[in-house]
C-alpha cells in the first residue's frame, strides 16, 4: 500500500496560477494572502494528513465501527487523529472570527479538506460535515443558538450531522413524517432517520443533529418541512453539558465501503430540539448545508481519485511484468503503452476535477458580494458534484485495473478506494438529482441565460489563445468545435422541452456529463497555456511539461465525449420512454 503524499504543488498551481491569488483580495480581509502564506498552511496540513490521519485508513477499513448498547466504538488511531486535527486549529480555518474561527475563505480551506479526505475518507466525514452544520447555524439560527453552539462547533468540541432521510422517503423529502411538537421554548422531535453519517461516537463531547421534521399544522409536501437543532446532550446557559437528550443510534449500516465511518439509524423520541430559521422553511435552510456538502462531495471525489492514482502509480513503477519496446529484458508495467494510457487518464481527469472544485468554491466565496457570482455558483454546483463523482468511479476502477489480479484482492488496498468511492455519486443527491437540478432549475428556468454567459466567457478565452503557438492550435480547434456542440445542444433543449414533458428527465444525465467534460476542456486549455508560458522556467520545467502533456491528453482523449453526449441527448426521450413497465 502506497504512502499518501498530498499534491501541494498541484494545489498551489490552481490557486496561484490558474485562479490567481488576486481573486482572494476581492474578499474582505483577504488582501494580504500571498503564496508564502498558503504554502505554509498546506505544508503543515500535509504533515498531519500524511503522518497522523493517513495511517488510520487501513485499520479504519478493516476494523470498521461497532455499536453496543447505543455506543459506537471507533477504529484505533481515530481519537488521536481527531485530537491532533482539533488542537491544530484545522477545524477553524474558514469560520467566523466572531465565534473563534480564522475567517479565511473556503477556497483556502478546500485544499486542506482534500488532503484530509484523501488521508482517510471515512474519518474525514466527521470533521467536514461539521463545517456544513456551522454554515447552516450561522446563516439561519437565532442569536441565542449561535451563542450557545457555534464556538463549540468551530473549536471541534462539538461535531455535527445532517439528518434528512427516512426509511419510507429516501430522497423524496416531501414524504418525511418525523414530527416536531411545540413545548415552551423548544420542540419535541419524534421519528426515525437513516443513513446518518457519524450519528453516534465519542470523539467529540457533543453531537449536534440538524433534523428535518414537520410541525403539527404544517402544509403537505416540502413546503411543510422545518429544520431543528437537536443536541445529543442538552447544553446549559453557561455552555456546560446537561442531561442526555432522548435520542439514540438504533443500529449502524453495514456498507459496501467507508467501513470506518459510523452510518447510523437514529431514533428520536420526544427529543428536545430548537427551531432553526422560519417555520416551514427547513428545506431552504437545509440547502445551505446541502450546497456546501455537494461541493464537499466533489472534493471527496478528487481526494479518493488522487489516492487511487498515487497507489496505481507506485504499483506501476514497481511491478515487473513482460517486455516493452525500447526496454532491455523484463520491465516494470509503467513502460507498457496501455498502462501509461490508464495512468494519464487518471491523472488528467483528476487535474481537471480539482480545478473545477476550486473554481466553484471561489464562486461560492464571492456569491455573498455579487449576484453574478451567486448565479454562477448555482449553475456550476450540480455540474461539479455530478461530473466529479461520476469520474471518481471510473478513476478508482482504472486504479484497480492497473493492479490486475492484485487489485481485486484486499491485500494491496486498491479495492478499498474503489469501494469507498461508490458513495460519492449517491451522497447529497444522486447524479440523477444533480442532473435534473442542472437542466431544470439552472438552465430551463432562466432560458439558458447564465449558461450562455458562461459559454461566451469561455469562447472569448479560447479565441484569444496564441494563434502562433502550434501546441495550442489543436486545443483551440477541439474547443471551438465543442463550444458549437454545447450551443447546439442548449438550443435543442430549450426548443424541444415545451413539446415533450419527458425530455428534460431523459437527457439530463447526458447534459450534465457533457457540461462537465466541456468544463474540463476549458480547464485543460487554460492549464496548457499557463504551462507553455512557464516552460522557460528551468527550475520547474518538468512540472510544466507534465502539465502540458496531461492537459493535451484530456483534450485529445476525453473532450471528444462532448460530441457523444450531445448526440445522445439530441435523440430525445422516445427510446427511453417507449417500453411499458411489463416490457422491462
Rounded-to-integer distance, Cα 250 and Cα 443, Å:
42
Burial class (CB in 10 A: 0-12, 13-18, 19+), 129: buried
| Residue 165: CB atoms within 10 Å | 17
| Residue 220: CB atoms within 10 Å | 9
Cell 448498547: give the residue: 69
Among 261, 298, 256, 263, which residue's Cα sits nearest to residue 418? Answer: 256
Grid coordinates representing 320 are 515487473
Rounded-to-integer distance, Cα 53 and Cα 80, Å:
9
| Residue 341: CB atoms within 10 Å | 13
Burial class (CB in 10 A: 0-12, 13-18, 19+), 40: exposed
Among 512, 545, 227, which residue's Cα sits nearest to residue 391? Answer: 512
Asked if 410 and 416 touch (Cβ cutoff 8 Å), the reply is: yes
Rounded-to-integer distance, Cα 340 and Cα 147, Å:
55
In angstroms, the Cα distances linking 530 to 244, 465, 486, 509 are 56, 11, 25, 32
Which sequence positions are flagged as catalytic?
428
Helices 121-140, 106-119: axis angle to 10 degrees equals 150
Report which DSSP code applies to 202.
S
Report which DSSP code applies to 469.
-
Grid coordinates representing 414 are 486498491
- Which residues sit opposite 190 in a β-bridge? 179
Give CB contacts under 8 A, 24+ apart, made by 71-79: 71/200, 71/202, 72/200, 72/201, 72/202, 72/249, 72/252, 72/262, 72/264, 74/201, 74/202, 74/203, 74/260, 74/262, 75/260, 78/123, 78/203, 78/260, 79/203
Report which DSSP code applies to 18.
I
Rounded-to-integer distance, Cα 340 and Cα 326, Å:
15
Burial class (CB in 10 A: 0-12, 13-18, 19+), 409: exposed
Bridge pairing between strands 241-244 and 247-252 = unpaired
| DSSP assignment of 390-449 | HHHHHHHHHHHHHHTHHHHSGGGSHHHHHHHHGGGGTTTS-HHHHHHIIIIIIIITTTTH
Amino acid at each position: 500500500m502506497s504512502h499518501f503524499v498530498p499534491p501541494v504543488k498541484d494545489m498551489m498551481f490552481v490557486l496561484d496560477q490558474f485562479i490567481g491569488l488576486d481573486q482572494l483580495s476581492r474578499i474582505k480581509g483577504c488582501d494580504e494572502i500571498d503564496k508564502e502564506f498558503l504554502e505554509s498552511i498546506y505544508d503543515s496540513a500535509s504533515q498531519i494528513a500524511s503522518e497522523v490521519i493517513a495511517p488510520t485508513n487501513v485499520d479504519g477499513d478493516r476494523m470498521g465501527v461497532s455499536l453496543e448498547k447505543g455506543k459506537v466504538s471507533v477504529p484505533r488511531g481515530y481519537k488521536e487523529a481527531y485530537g491532533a486535527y482539533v488542537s491544530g486549529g484545522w477545524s477553524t480555518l474558514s469560520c467566523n472570527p466572531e465565534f473563534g474561527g480564522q475567517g479565511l475563505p473556503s477556497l483556502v480551506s478546500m485544499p486542506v479538506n482534500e488532503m484530509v479526505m484523501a488521508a482517510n475518507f471515512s474519518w474525514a466525514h466527521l470533521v467536514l460535515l461539521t463545517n456544513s452544520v456551522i454554515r447552516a447555524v450561522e446563516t439561519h439560527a437565532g442569536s441565542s443558538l449561535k451563542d450557545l453552539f457555534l464556538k463549540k462547533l468551530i473549536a471541534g468540541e462539538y461535531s455535527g450531522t445532517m439528518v434528512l432521510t427516512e426509511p419510507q422517503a429516501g430522497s423524496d423529502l416531501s414524504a418525511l413524517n418525523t414530527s416536531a411538537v411545540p413545548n415552551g421554548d423548544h420542540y419535541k422531535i419524534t421519528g426515525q432517520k437513516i443513513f446518518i453519517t457519524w450519528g453516534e461516537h465519542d470523539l467529540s463531547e457533543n453531537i449536534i443533529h440538524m433534523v428535518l421534521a414537520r410541525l403539527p399544522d404544517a402544509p403537505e409536501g416540502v413546503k411543510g418541512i422545518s429544520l431543528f437543532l437537536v443536541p445529543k446532550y442538552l447544553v446549559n446557559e453557561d455552555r456546560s453539558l446537561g442531561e442526555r437528550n432522548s435520542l439514540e443510534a438504533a443500529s449502524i449500516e453495514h456498507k459496501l465501503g467507508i467501513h470506518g465511518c459510523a452510518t447510523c439509524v437514529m431514533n428520536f423520541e420526544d427529543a428536545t430540539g430548537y427551531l432553526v430559521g422560519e417555520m416551514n422553511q427547513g428545506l431552504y435552510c437545509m440547502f445551505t448545508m446541502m450546497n456546501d456538502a455537494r461541493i464537499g462531495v466533489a472534493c471527496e471525489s478528487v481526494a479518493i481519485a488522487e489516492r487511487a492514482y498515487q497507489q496505481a502509480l507506485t504499483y506501476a513503477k514497481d511491478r515487473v511484468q513482460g517486455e516493452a519496446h525500447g526496454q532491455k529484458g523484463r520491465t516494470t508495467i509503467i513502460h507498457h503503452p496501455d498502462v501509461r494510457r490508464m495512468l494519464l487518464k487518471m491523472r488528467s481527469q483528476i487535474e481537471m476535477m480539482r480545478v473545477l472544485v476550486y473554481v466553484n468554491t471561489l464562486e461560492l466565496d464571492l456569491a455573498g458580494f455579487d449576484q453574478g457570482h451567486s448565479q454562477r455558483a448555482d449553475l456550476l454546483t450540480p455540474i461539479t458534484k455530478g461530473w466529479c463523482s461520476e469520474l471518481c468511479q471510473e478513476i478508482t476502477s482504472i486504479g484497480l485495473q492497473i493492479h490486475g489480479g492484485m487489485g481485486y484482492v484486499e491485500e494491496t488496498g486498491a479495492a478499498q478506494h474503489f469501494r469507498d468511492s461508490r458513495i460519492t455519486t449517491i451522497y447529497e443527491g444522486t447524479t440523477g438529482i444533480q442532473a435534473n437540478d442542472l437542466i431544470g432549475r439552472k438552465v430551463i428556468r432562466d432560458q439558458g441565460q447564465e449558461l450562455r454567459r458562461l459559454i461566451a466567457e469561455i469562447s472569448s478565452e479560447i479565441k484569444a489563445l496564441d494563434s502562433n503557438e502550434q501546441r495550442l492550435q489543436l486545443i483551440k480547434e477541439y474547443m471551438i468545435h465543442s463550444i458549437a456542440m454545447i450551443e447546439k445542444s442548449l438550443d435543442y433543449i430549450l426548443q424541444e422541452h415545451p413539446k415533450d414533458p419527458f425530455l428534460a428527465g431523459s437527457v439530463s444525465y447526458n447534459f450534465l456529463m457533457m457540461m462537465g467534460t466541456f468544463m474540463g476542456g476549458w480547464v485543460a486549455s487554460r492549464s496548457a497555456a499557463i504551462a507553455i508560458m512557464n516552460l522557460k522556467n528551468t527550475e520547474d520545467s518538468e512540472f510544466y511539461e507534465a502539465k502540458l502533456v496531461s492537459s493535451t491528453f484530456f483534450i485529445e482523449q476525453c473532450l471528444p465525449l462532448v460530441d457523444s453526449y450531445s448526440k445522445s441527448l439530441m435523440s430525445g426521450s422516445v427510446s427511453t420512454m417507449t417500453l411499458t413497465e411489463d416490457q422491462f
